[in-house]
Chain A
Amino acid sequence: MNPANNEPVAVVGIGQTEHAAARRDVSIAGLVREAALRALADAELTWSDIDAVVIGKAPDFFEGVMMPELYLADALGAVGKPLMRVHTAGSVGGSTALVAANLVASRVQRTVLTVAFEKQSESNAMWGLSLPVPFQQPLLAGAGGFFAPHVRAYIRRTGAPEHVGSLVAYKDRRNALKNPSAHLHEHGITLEKVQSSPMLWDPIRYSETCPSSDGACAMVLTGRRGAARAPRPPAWVHGGAMRSEPTLFAGKDFVSPRAGRDCAADVYRQAGITDPRREIDVAELYVPFSWYEPMWLENLGFAAEGEGWKLTVSGATELDGDLPVNPSGGVLSTNPIGASGMLRFAEAALQVCGRAGAHQVDGARRALGHAYGGGAQFFSMWLVGAEPPAG
């Protein structure tokens, strides 16, 4: 996005479903509808105010509905309007919001509804990601086995003490207790409980892994005129970017992927951020395994290389720290995969609007929403603020 020439983009409506391990009470259509209606109600708009719909979810194999956007057009009021699907693995919730934002920024559409979802209970993501391809060695390690060696590499590279992963999980699960929308509400959580949970994929413990959730998230994005009619001051998009790189290549840095660094740099440039640690008040980062918090803190420039874990240990990323990370409870507490990225983006917007309820960060004016996926292949991020962008 080039903020200088573009329509400023405002987030005027935010909605999410109740998240649970299995939402057997609704169809997939009913699930996305729930989030979309809440976003519309939040914006005090109706279906007829929406000019286009942008929807995202993780790979079709997850639920086995090929091109679900076709059948979901009715539920999302998209009949007779442009409807498009975005598809970038785990980062898709973020990418979907950015495609919607770009439609507004480019003045192609005035007001866009964007929705992302996953109904993990009707699917098996692990199966969908590990099809038995002939001649290839079968994947040996299960879900966390992909991530755990990269965590070990991070620990080796930085000398981070062993308990950092547990500190992050303990923080995010406590934050989730303040977020009624979160899937996991672990009352009575203690650091000791996290640290004594089974070591599934050493160095990753059970309590340091994300759950499997059913859920959806939706937002209404619009331009300056739409924002002027909004019932409350909106969140404004100050920067947004996507980057990709191959899942595997010689020289790939899984601990701090270049695509992530470049994506963040682009967003900061657009938003005029030169010192993210000081200028960003809160970050919602895609942390599916707790150790990814310090890893992303370095990748996104909040800490120097090798120093991310020190931010975590210092308490800076706690809800009352000077750089709260995942006040919502994060992916560690709620993980409808396709929606997880949009939930990060939406939480960032709620924070700068001062509407995050019990997990509100005091005085949050600028927030980063971050998503990644596909084996650190895709990155998408946006930076939102309480004030309209300059210019």
Chain B
Amino acid sequence: MSEILTAPLVVEFPFTRSLGPVQSAFLTGLRERVVLGVRTTDGRVLVPPVEYDPRTADEIRELVEVGATGTVTTWAWNPAPRPRQPLATPFAWVLVTLDGADTALLHALDAPGPDAVRTGMRVRVRWAAERTGAITDIACFEPHESGGAGPATPHTGVFADPVTGITTPARLDYTYAPGRAQSRHLAALARHTTIGERCPACRRVYVPPRGACPTCGVATGEQVEVGPRGTVTTYCVVNIKARNAAIDVPYVYAHIALDGADLALHGRIAGIPCDQVRMGLRVEPVWTEGARHPDHYRPTGEPDAAYDTYKELL
């Protein structure tokens, strides 16, 4: 049994958000050190505000300003903050009902330890020094003894230079394990050979192997060496550069059925002008030092395969 491979897989993207009128006012308010809520049809004040009343589904647009002080309604201690959490040192996640609000806001509370946190404690906003119109404009909450401030007061929600959109970078860290079948396939590729696996039921050979036949639903175990030569079953000429692609256009992106395989894999064709590539072209892999996969495939010089020999592999 060959070694099972693993590798980190990072999924990361700077998503954008159009805020709409209510979130725009809320986040712009934070930039101006003003916390806004929204009043529902039945008079409750929701902080953070939402666009639509959860009870009645009404569109709600009556903005109000609430206090920067409030009361912790519940909490959980976070002993080991992870990267990009609000504080680098241990802190409490808290739900805070700001003075004048009827709902609680989730944020971080800077406290020396769990013994210093309790439900019902009074807290206040610690504003970030640099504010851009984001929930992180509230750096965190901090303990602060004070009486309750007054009720929410009407606010137009109008500010100069409002924030209408934000970027919310997201990152997920996975450990990816390709599994036994693909690990065996990858180990063979390192020797510049390609192995597939044959289904014990339908006898078809899968390349790359996935450990099971998707048609029969049974495990595939029998390893079969395929290729190295193969046939171009179909292809396209790529004339537009894909984002982050290192290859110069134009190039040919082809489906290649390696000899002995029952479905095509994908690869680039080179060593022949794009306009001379054709269905049925016979090709072989070209390896470059240190690469896991063939760099591309090139013509072998053999006569083209007859259409009938590969039409079922299209």
Residues in A lying within 8 Å of B, measured CB to CB: 22-30, 33, 47, 61, 63-65, 73-77, 79, 119, 121-124, 126-128, 131-137, 139-142, 144-145, 148-153, 156-157, 198-204, 246, 248-255
The residue that B57 contacts in the complex, of A77, A135, A199, A254, with Cβ under 8 A, is: A77
Cβ-defined contact, B240 with A122, below 8 A: no
B303 interface contact, C-beta 8 A: no
CB within 8 Å: A-B pair count: 183
Contact of A131 among B9, B15, B23, B262 (CB under 8 A): B9
Measured in the bound complex, the distance between the Cα atoms of B311 and A254 in whole Å is 12
Query: What chain B residues lie within 8 Å of A124 (beta carbons)?
Result: 13
Contact B242 A153 (CB under 8 A): no
**A29-B18 contact, Cβ under 8 Å, with A140-B266, A250-B206:** no
A127-B236 in contact given A79-B57, A134-B176 (Cβ < 8 Å): no
Report B239-277 residues with CB < 8 Å from chain A CB.
Answer: 239-240, 242-243, 245, 247, 253-255, 262-263, 266-268
- Taking beta carbons and an 8 Å cutoff, which residues of B are in contact with A? 5, 7-9, 11, 13, 15-20, 23, 50-57, 59, 164-165, 168, 170, 176, 178, 182, 186, 199, 202, 204-206, 213-215, 233-240, 242-243, 245, 247, 253-255, 262-263, 266-268, 279, 292-293, 307, 311-312, 314
> For the complex, what is the distance from the CA of A253 to the CA of B311, rounded to whole Å?
10
Top 4 closest pairs, chain A to chain B, by CB: A148-B236, A77-B57, A27-B20, A134-B7
Cβ-closest chain A residue relative to B279: A156
CB distance from B292 to the nearest CB of A (A): 7
**B54:A79 contact, CB within 8 angstroms:** yes
| Residues of chain A within 8 A of B202, CB atoms compared | 250
Partner among B235, B236, B292, B314 whose Cβ is within 8 Å of the Cβ of A254: B314
A75 contacts B9, C-beta separation under 8 Å: no
Q: Find out whether the CB atom of A153 lies under 8 angstroms from the CB atom of B314.
A: yes
Q: In this complex, what residue of A is CB-closest to B311?
A: A157
From B13, B19, B215, B253, A140 is in contact (CB under 8 Å) with B253
* Contact flag A201-B292 (CB < 8 Å), given A77-B57, A127-B13, A134-B9: no
Taken together as a complex, chains A and B put the C-alpha atoms of A27 and B51 apart, in Å, by 9
Instruction: Give which listed residue, A25, A61, A65, A204, contacts B236 with CB less than 8 A.
Output: A204
Known A-B contacts A140-B253, A201-B239; the reply to A64 vs B15 at CB < 8 A is yes
Closest to B11 in A: A131
CB distance from B196 to the nearest CB of A (A): 10
- 5 A–B pairs (Cβ distance < 8 Å), ordered by A: A27-B20, A77-B57, A152-B234, A250-B205, A250-B263
CA distance A153 to B50 in the complex (A): 51
Are A251 and B237 neighbours in the complex by a CB distance under 8 Å? Answer: no
- Asked if B266 and A135 make an inter-chain contact with CB atoms under 8 angstroms apart, the answer reads no
Given contact pairs A24-B165, A73-B54, A149-B253, A126 touches B243 in the complex (Cβ within 8 A): yes
Q: How many Å from the CB of A29 to the closest CB on chain B?
A: 5
Additional 18 contacts, C-beta under 8 A, given A134-B9, A201-B240 = A28-B18, A29-B51, A29-B52, A33-B51, A33-B52, A64-B168, A74-B51, A121-B16, A137-B293, A142-B238, A142-B245, A145-B236, A145-B238, A151-B236, A152-B236, A157-B314, A246-B215, A250-B199
A152 to B213, CA, bound (A): 27
Take A140-B247, A249-B214 as given contacts and tell me if A201 and B23 are in contact as well, using a CB distance cutoff of 8 Å.
Answer: no
The interface residues of chain B lying within 8 Å CB-to-CB of A26 are 18, 20
State the CA gap A353–B171 with chains docked (Å): 47
Complex CA distance for A140 and B293, rounded to whole angstroms: 13
CA distance A122 to B167 in the complex (A): 9
Q: Which residues of B contact A255 (CB under 8 A)?
A: 314
Q: How far is the CA of A63 from the CA of B15 in the complex (A)?
A: 7
B262 contacts which of A47, A127, A250, A254 (Cβ < 8 Å)?
Answer: A250
Interface centre among A73, A74, A204 (most CB of B within 10 A): A74
The answer on a CB contact under 8 Å between B237 and A201 is yes
- Tell me whether A156 and B51 are in contact (CB under 8 A): no
Contact of A149 with B57 at beta-carbon distance under 8 Å, contacts A29-B51, A122-B17 already known: no
Asked if B245 contacts A140 (CB within 8 A), the reply is yes
A156 to chain B, nearest CB (A): 6
| A122 and B5 within 8 A (CB) | no
Please state if A122 and B206 are interface contacts (CB–CB under 8 Å). Answer: no
Contacts of B262 in A (CB 8 A): 250-251
Report yes or no: B266 in contact with A137, Cβ–Cβ below 8 A: yes
Query: With a CB–CB cut-off of 8 A, which chain B residues contact A251?
Result: 204, 215, 262-263, 312
Does B240 contact A142, Cβ atoms closer than 8 Å? Answer: yes
A126→B255 CA distance, assembly (Å)? 20
Report Cα–Cα, A128/B16, bound state, in Å: 14
Is B8 touching A24 in the complex (CB atoms < 8 A)? no
The chain A residue with its CB closest to the CB of B176 is: A134
A199–B170 alpha-carbon span in the complex (Å): 35
Chain B neighbourhood of A252, CB < 8 A = 263
Select from chain A the residue with minimum beta-carbon distance to B312. Answer: A251
- Among B5, B15, B23, the most chain A Cβ lie within 10 Å of the Cβ of B15
Most buried by B among A22, A133, A148, A149: A149
Known: A140-B266, A255-B314. A199 touches B52 (CB 8 A): no
A96 to B15: give the CA distance in the assembly, Å: 25
Write the chain B residue with the least CB distance to A255: B314
The reply to whether B237 and A202 contact each other, CB–CB distance below 8 Å, is yes
Cα-based distance from A249 to B7 in the complex (angstroms): 26
Q: Which A residues are in CB contact (< 8 Å) with B165?
A: 24
User: Which residues of A sit under 8 angstroms from B182, Cβ to Cβ?
Assistant: 135
Kindly list chain A residues whose C-beta atoms are within 8 Å of the C-beta of B238: 140-142, 145, 200-202
Question: What separation, in Å, do the CA atoms of A127 and B242 have in the docked complex?
Answer: 11
Residues of A within 8 A of B164 (CB): 24
The answer to whether B18 and A24 have CB atoms under 8 Å apart is yes
Flag if A246 contacts B18 (CB, 8 Å): no
> Does B243 contact A30, Cβ atoms closer than 8 Å?
no
Cβ-defined partner of A152 (8 Å) among B52, B170, B178, B235? B235
- B19 contacts which chain A residues (CB < 8 A)? 27
Are B215's CB and A141's CB within 8 A?
Answer: no
Output the nearest chain B residue to A201 by Cβ-Cβ distance: B236
**Closest chain B CB from A371 CB (angstroms):** 22
Smallest beta-carbon distance B11→chain A, Å: 6
